[in-house]
Chain A
Amino acid sequence: MSARRLLVGLLAAVAILTLAAGAAAQGTGERLILTVGLDNDVDSLNPLVGVEVPDYEVWNLHYATLTDKAAEDFETIPGLAESWEGSDDGLTWTYTLREGLLWSDGEPLTSEDVAFTINRAREEGWLNYDSTVANITASAPDERTVVLESSVPDPKLPTMDVYILPEHVWGELGPREITRYDGLDGVGSGPFTIAELRRGEFWRLEANENYWGGRPAIDEVVFRLFNNADAMVAALQTGEIDAAHYVPESSFAELAETEGIVAVEGQQGGFDELAINGGDGLKEPHPALMDLAVRQAIAHAIDEQTIIDRVLEGLGSPSEAMSPSADPEWTPEIPEEERFDFDLDRARELLDEGGYLDTDGDGVREMPGGGRPLDFVYAVRTESQSAPGVAEFVSGWLSEIGIATTQQPMNDTRLTEVIGRGDYDMFQWGWVPFVDPDPMLSYFTCDQVSADPDEPTNYYNDANLCDPEYDRLYEEQKVELDKERRVEIVHEMLRRFYSQAVYHILYLSPDLQAYRTDRFEGWVRQPADVGPVMFSNSSPSYALLRPVSEEDEAAEGGGEAAAATDDDGGMSTGTLVALVALALLAVAAAVWVLRRRRTVDERD
């Protein structure tokens, strides 16, 4: 008995000591952690196949590229390569890597890794690499030299911005395995490497001691997911997170006025579209949507300006054609006679002419000659703040021209799958383009229309439309070295794409972001002055962030306190009164019911 007691006592003592030690360790080695809130989960951290914006943010931090992009203007600057030289015909480029490059696990990073990545990507046609490396062969004559040979003139060279993978990890995976790999090995070459991923909760990256630009000043970056944008804003206001991506439009103005918080309206060519199934994929949509006239009628029934004013609260701008680049010069103007301006009468006329009439008088048109009603399935993204509002408007206008819609809420993973299978009528989603228009343009080629029922998500073409003429123009611009001529071809492609009415651009939307100034400083916008501070093309901020120095912090603290009192005063009297009334009512009801119960018991 006493022996057992002793044992228990000892165990307790050990436990207490361990806890104390843990606490002490935490106290001394305080890690500098930047926490970023967002509302969109990663889909795959494998840079071959992931498509979501947060994936790119992780790769931008985790993998270095041969050439980097300047924060100010996306200009090609040294990355892993410190210099490069081109041959006279522009087909061969020789890069010299920096000295002493190491992967985060201590293995040397050599030209073999670069050659491995580019050659295998070309041979196996990796989804995210293909448009950049399709015509390029890489060789590694010595450890620090990479030679890229392009079989055709390539306007993008010498820029080479694909993520370079460690051959000693990825080289062991077979062609099928490699597209299904989770990418969580933690071996990287960027400023931070991925350390932990918990889907639906957060992912965490740690500073890379071996980063060629020097170890970053902060120790960890944590991306935390929020299901509700309001909760994210509140977390930013209380300092629970340091920065927030996709701040809701409704609280943007308030955040912009808060002291100690900087709100950023980041323009980088991102847009949202209403996509209609073009029917060339694995499955056809509602038969009416295969008719260009019906798609045009839908395009005529959408008032973009109202959507911008109401759903985006004015934080967006209209665009007719798709914007394929962060640089607006690649986006063409659509001539007035080719435009599908908001005109419900014209939309009705198009449907009438096509023979889509409401024969049974229920307010919904049927296919020519009666039969199947024009009722389209509209997938509404649950991970988007604007989708329900846009859906409300679009469904409203469509019902006014006699088209019914059935809204189906879907999360991104499911919607990606549904798009790949071609099993949808329409949906709203968006893109954030790269600097060069090529990748964005490549997504709508015939190659990218889903064709493999086993891997339906390994394709990009979410218009599911195959237009050979578009493909021909795509190939033409891909090898056009004259920039002006290339811009012309791109404009022609985009006008053509616009005329098919499968991809209706709803608006160009800035990335709304906000960050606190009390703990970290050094945020940079990419491109300068107009771009976002995070989730940009090469995400330069994180490596440059440093803790606010002590004096600054004191000053900031004062500002924050002032902001906090401001906030309290800001709570409207109406809300307070209403909340108090609600609480009183609830208490009164509870007391009433309880008393009633008790008296009943007493009477018993």
Chain B
Amino acid sequence: MRGAVATSATRVAWARRRRAVAGAWGDYRRSRTGMVGLAVLVLAGLVALGAPLLADEAELRAVNAIDNPSWAPPSEFPPLGTDNLGRSVWAQFVWGSRISLLVGLAATVIAIVIGTVVGVSAGFVGGRFGGLLMRGTEWFLVIPFLPLAIVLAAVLGPSIENIILVIGITSWPGTARLIRAQVLTLKERLYVDRSRAFGASNRHLMGRHILPNVMPLVLANTTLTVPIAILSETTLSFLGLGDPSRASWGKMLEEAFHAGAITREAWWYFLPPGLGIMLVVLAFTLCGQALEAILDPRLRERRS
């Protein structure tokens, strides 16, 4: 019989969660900017995932583009023209979106995981241990990002994994502080006290009450961290610290800049990656803001 009760409790919990998600989605749908952001992201995701269908990977290599004209404008070599070495800009744009998004997302995952673990432990455990963690966080926070990232990228060597690692381990402190603040308010709530009085262990409290309640905040924070990570990837690639063997939007900009695309006014070379970065970053920001507005009651729109 106990089993049956437990099952139905789980079912009830799931039903509640589904309702909550449906409610949140309803709120989200009402946000016009959020929907625009989401649409752009879906499109970018489709381009990245469908890269093999949209352009042949072999076109990325200059040795396979020997028959193409170099510096050809889009009118001569549709859809986006060619670069100084005759490579198709479209192929680079499409395949570059993969690296840019991958680095953005993967670095964010690292940052969010570190940030959440540090934030929750510092907030929940508190005391000397929490203080120590927060001092460590502040130490990371005051280190200027770019020099640290440049040094790390130079020492570790230019590869996609290292770029992800570098961005990941330099962009978690903000998240950690945010999560800690939330945990500090959560752990003083009545239901936590009540649960503790019933004899709940720290593990139970953390897993059942604290974590599920910071998760929405983590989600909103994630969508706001991704654009920063993408911009960081662009910055590092532009400075020549990216993976030289893989096309990314940042690397395209770097190559266009060094090949003299600007003096040559080869706008088809530098505009696509530039616009791509701008749109994706904007879209993530719009989504993040829309989520924030739903999750933060102070920003929530009153229902009529």
The reply on A238 being an interface residue by CB < 8 A is: no
Main secondary structure of the interface of A (DSSP, over half): helix
Q: Decide: A596 near B289, CB < 8 A? Known: A385-B258, A389-B84, A395-B245.
A: yes
Beta-carbon contact of A230 and B302 below 8 Å:
no
The reply on B79 being an interface residue by CB < 8 A is: no
The reply on B70 being an interface residue by CB < 8 A is: yes
The A-contacting residues of B in range 1-54, CB under 8 angstroms, are 33
The reply on A44 being an interface residue by CB < 8 A is: no
Q: How large is the interface on A (under 10, 10 to 19, 20 to 34, 35 or more residues)?
A: 35 or more
Find chain B residues with CB under 8 A from A234 CB. 263
Shortest CB-to-CB span from A575 to chain B, Å, is 5
Q: Decide: A603 near B263, CB < 8 A? Known: A228-B257, A385-B258, A585-B278.
A: no
CA distance A251 to B61 in the complex (A): 24
CA distance A269 to B285 in the complex (A): 55
Beta-carbon contact of A250 and B244 below 8 Å:
no
The reply on A263 being an interface residue by CB < 8 A is: no
Which of B158, B289, B293 is close to A409, meaning CB atoms less than 8 Å apart? B158
Beta-carbon contact of A396 and B258 below 8 Å:
no
CA distance A604 to B296 in the complex (A): 11
Beta-carbon contact of A382 and B62 below 8 Å:
no
Beta-carbon contact of A250 and B267 below 8 Å:
no
The A-contacting residues of B in range 231-275, CB under 8 angstroms, are 240-241, 244-245, 255, 257-260, 262-265, 267, 271, 274-275
Beta-carbon contact of B244 and A380 below 8 Å:
yes
Find chain A residues with CB under 8 A from B293 CB. 600
Contact with B along A358-395 (1 / 0, CB 8 A): 00000000000000000000001010010011011101
Beta-carbon contact of B258 and A578 below 8 Å:
no
CA distance A251 to B258 in the complex (A): 12
Find chain B residues with CB under 8 A from A572 CB. 265, 267
Beta-carbon contact of B244 and A393 below 8 Å:
no
Which of A230, A254, A397, A586 is close to B257, meaning CB atoms less than 8 Å apart? A230
Beta-carbon contact of A586 and B278 below 8 Å:
yes
Q: Decide: A250 near B84, CB < 8 A? Known: A228-B257, A229-B258, A604-B298.
A: yes
Count, chain B residues at interface, CB 8 A: 41
Which of A389, A571, A600 is close to B62, meaning CB atoms less than 8 Å apart? A389
Chain B: CB-nearest residue to A586 = B278
CA distance A380 to B244 in the complex (A): 10
Chain A: CB-nearest residue to B260 = A250
CA distance A234 to B264 in the complex (A): 11
The reply on B206 being an interface residue by CB < 8 A is: no
Find chain B residues with CB under 8 A from A592 CB. 33
The reply on B282 being an interface residue by CB < 8 A is: yes
A→B interface (CB under 8 Å)? 228-230, 233-234, 248, 250-251, 254, 306, 310-311, 313, 380, 382, 385, 388-389, 391-393, 395-397, 399-400, 406-409, 571-572, 574-575, 578-579, 582, 585-586, 589, 592-593, 596, 600, 603-604
The 4 residue pairs across chains A and B that have the minimum distance between CB atoms = A396-B63, A250-B260, A407-B244, A575-B265
Interchain residue pairs with CB less than 8 A apart (29)? A228-B258, A233-B263, A234-B263, A254-B263, A313-B70, A313-B84, A380-B244, A389-B84, A389-B259, A391-B244, A393-B62, A393-B63, A396-B63, A396-B64, A397-B63, A399-B61, A409-B158, A572-B265, A572-B267, A574-B73, A578-B271, A582-B275, A582-B278, A586-B278, A593-B33, A593-B285, A593-B289, A600-B299, A604-B299
